[in-house]
Amino acid sequence: MRIIIFGPQGSGKGTQAELIARRHHLPYISTGDIFRYHLKNQTELGKKIGVYINAGKLVSDDLTNEIVKNRIDQPDCAVGFVLDGYPRDQVQFDFLYQLTKIDFVIVIELIDQEAIRRLGGRLACKCGLSYHLDFNPPKKTGVCDRCGHALFKRDDDQLEAIKKRLAIYHQETEPIFAAYLKDGILYHIDGSKSIEEVYQQIEKIIHQNS
Ligand code: ADP
Ligand code: ADP
Ligand code: ZN
């Protein structure tokens, strides 16, 4: 099963993608997490992308497409995957479209105002999990429940960078939904509900259409 999760920054894509991946034993692929890994470890790629990420701008399509192709070609993706944060524009969409078939495209809907409010309290872990100070706190303050690493506030979770990312989402990412709608695989979800309720909406869609 190959699933893509879309939604504005802060809508809960990462949170939901991780739950779905765990439930269905699928790899969870987040281009943002992959880029942050390279940035933190200052790999060749990491040195090239830092300026874009911290400013809330997109990394080039060529670099991004290559990273995704390499990841999807790994043996663990033979059973499928849950993709979060990709594709984000027409060029990436075209690349993925010729690369592999997608079964479900889920769009988590949330107004920008609420998304910004959520991101203000977001705590991230390098393992890909994200927490919220009020809505989804870790069991132990500042530490990831799953892997025990210290949680951090992302450098790009600042109001200016958040607004820029939301604008790019509306301008560059939303227009690509039309093609998935045409293919009959696009589903919209109400993201304003609790984490558990949003998750149940997604499971229902997968169940009813499998
Ligand atoms: P995205 O990947 O779409 O940017 P995240 O999954 O990182 O979003 O979630 C953004 C923030 O909102 C995190 O702090 C997360 O814990 C919190 N969050 C996610 N889903 C919900 C929800 N349904 N209700 C309240 N807070 C949520
Ligand atoms: P967000 O969805 O909040 O922007 P992500 O963790 O998905 O956060 O991505 C963080 C940053 O990584 C983005 O702002 C961008 O610089 C880069 N990035 C992630 N995915 C892509 C992509 N598909 N294309 C280009 N840049 C990307
Ligand atoms: Zn962790």
Strand pairing partners for 28? Answer: 82
Residue 170 is classified by DSSP as I
Here the tokens at position 115 are 């998304």
Tens of pLDDT, residue by residue over 21-62, are 999 999 999 999 999 999 999 999 999 998 898 888 899 999
Distances (CA, A) of 26 to 21, 85, 99: 5, 16, 18
Helix (H) or strand (E) holding 99: helix 90-99
Ligand 1 pocket, CB under 6 A: 7, 9-15, 118-119, 121-122, 130-132, 135-136, 194-195, 198
| pLDDT over threshold 90, residue 150 | yes
CA distance 197 to 176: 26
Could you please state the CATH topology (level 3) that the domain comprising 2-201 is classified under.
Answer: Rossmann fold (3.40.50)
Predicted TM-score (pTM) of the model is: 0.94
User: What residue spans define the domains of the chain?
Assistant: 2-201
Q: Are 135 and 195 contacting, i.e. CB atoms less than 8 angstroms apart? A: yes
Ligand 2 pocket, CB under 6 A: 9, 31-32, 35, 52-53, 56-59, 64, 85-86, 88, 92, 156, 165
